[in-house]
Amino acid sequence: MGEVGKHTQMKHRLLGVYLSICARNVRSQKSHDFIVVDLYANDGVSYWPSGDELWEGSAQIAAKWVSRAGERAFCILNEKDETLIDKLKENTKKYNKVIKEIFSEDANTICQDILDEYIPLDAHSIFILDPYKHTELKFSTIKSIANHCKEDQYHGVPFIRRPELIINLPTFTILKSKTQNQQFITDFFGTDEWIKAVKKAEKNKTSQPEALMKVYKTQLQRFYPADGIVPIEIRTLEYNAPIYYLVFVATHPLAKKIHSTFEDWIRKKRGEFRKEGFALKLIAEAKRKQIKSLDDWA
Ligand SMILES: C[S@@+](CC[C@H](N)C(=O)[O-])C[C@H]1O[C@@H](n2cnc3c(N)ncnc32)[C@H](O)[C@@H]1O
């Protein structure tokens, strides 16, 4: 994604670890497709302004782990900016075997077509939603993804199978523009409840980013179970303020096992993150002991 700040490297590390855990869990399964859709792909790579280090962006990360996830795994990439598409193709060409399509459309428009054409209702699918700003993602898009669902069972446990989500919630950018263009923010949240929540946090001197995250979580809970929503706060130590949340969202009973493995990894790495100037806070430190007894994804 071209020149980036240090916090972006943090996002890519989290994304890579999460998708590697998913790939490990789905590799053995033969009965479902595994599909990762990166709707805000950029050009596939990242580098510092100095240009002296290059690393994988979300599209390369997604394609790499999909290519290691077994036979029925593929990914779909989308990037609205047409000028990035040639670079995106070049940067992901070693994974061509698993890349089904590369689109250049508004994510909010192409999303339904992708769902209808490429995502069977019984697939294990993950949508990566990583806009720069809240103006680029509407809650109506989350709704259409979540509504692509079917009733299902896992080892006799009923659940509603919906695509999984990885969402970047850009709280810093939202709060910076909270007095202008409120309608964009309302479209992002799918409700104007965020206005009350921010005012209340202002009055009580509590965290405004946390208040926004809470509103978003309530909205997601219309479709996803509370214990299937894992928000991770990424905070810079320099300003001691959250810059964004990465939110991992799922309904499958076994996704909880993936979330739990992921959270364990984050806990182990906390010291390392701090040395790099970041604190990662797990918002839902849920007790998931019962999950440990479930079998691997099968
Ligand atoms: C934060 S960057 C994505 C970075 C990438 N996911 C990564 O981690 O390497 C956001 C990207 O979304 C693109 N974009 C902005 N609005 C969009 C929209 N409505 N639909 C699809 N892409 C959009 C931008 O051009 C930009 O490349």
To test ligand 1's pocket by mutation, which of 3, 136, 173 has the most ligand atoms within 8 angstroms of CB? 136
pLDDT of residue 291 exceeding 60, the answer is no
Q: Looking at ligand 1, which residue's alpha carbon is closest to its atom 9?
A: 57
Percent of the chain with pLDDT over 70: 93
- Could you tell me if residue 12 is inside a domain? yes
Confidence of residue 293 (pLDDT cuts 50, 70, 90): very low
- The larger pLDDT score, comparing residue 143 to residue 54, is at 143
At 29 the pLDDT is 72
**Inside any domain, residue 238:** yes
Which range among 13-17, 193-197, 233-237 shows the weakest confidence by mean pLDDT?
A: 233-237
Q: pLDDT band for position 241 (50/70/90)?
A: confident
Of 15-19, 233-237, 285-289, give the range with the top mean pLDDT.
Answer: 15-19
- pLDDT of res. 53: 79
Position 105 pLDDT exceeds 90: yes
Is residue 166 within 8 Å of residue 230, measured between CB atoms? no
Residue 194: pLDDT over 50: yes
> Would 239 be classed as within a structural domain?
yes
Centre of ligand 1 from the C-alpha of residue 44, in Å: 11
pLDDT of residue 295: 35
- Average pLDDT, integer, range 216-229: 97
Question: What is the b/e burial string over 16-53, where b = at least 16 CB atoms within 10 angstroms of the residue's CB?
Answer: bbbbbbbbbbbeebeebbbbbbbbbbbbbbbeeeeeee
Determine whether the shortest distance from the Cβ of 74 to ligand 1 is under 6 A: no
Give the per-residue pLDDT at 2. 52
Task: Write out the residue range of the structural domain in which residue 197 sits.
Answer: 2-293
pLDDT score of 298: 26
Q: Across the chain, what does the average pLDDT equal?
A: 91
**What is the Å distance from ligand 1's center to 28 Cα?**
32
Q: What is the mean pLDDT of residues 107-117?
A: 98
87 Cα to the center of ligand 1, angstroms: 14
Assess whether the C-beta atom of 80 lies below 6 angstroms from ligand 1: yes
Residue 106 beta carbon below 6 angstroms from any ligand 1 atom: yes
CATH of the domain at 91: 3.40.50.150
The gap between the terminal CA atoms of the chain, to the nearest Å, is: 35
For residue 193, is pLDDT > 50? yes
Cα angle for residues 62, 63, 65 (degrees, 5° grid): 70
Model confidence at 161: pLDDT above 60: yes
151 Cα–ligand 1 center, Å? 32
Confidence at 262, pLDDT banded by 50, 70, 90: very high
d(CA 132, ligand 1 centre) in Å = 6
pLDDT in tens, 27-70: 867 779 999 999 999 999 987 777 677 889 999 999 999 999 99
19, 264 contact by CB (below 8 A): no
Confidence (pTM): 0.94
> Does 132 sit in the ligand 1 pocket, CB within 6 Å?
yes
What is the gyration radius of the CA atoms in the chain, in angstroms? 18
How many structural domains does the chain have?
Answer: 1
Q: What is the pLDDT of residue 187?
A: 98
CB atoms within 10 A of CB 8: 18
Looking from the CA of residue 168, the nearest atom of ligand 1 is: 1
C-beta of 141 in contact with ligand 1 (< 6 A) = no
pLDDT score at 47: 79
Residue 298 lies in a domain: no
Instruction: Determine the pLDDT at residue 1.
Output: 54
- pLDDT class of 101 with cuts at 50, 70, 90: very high
Q: Is the CB of 81 under 6 A from ligand 1?
A: yes
Cβ of 57 less than 6 Å from ligand 1: yes
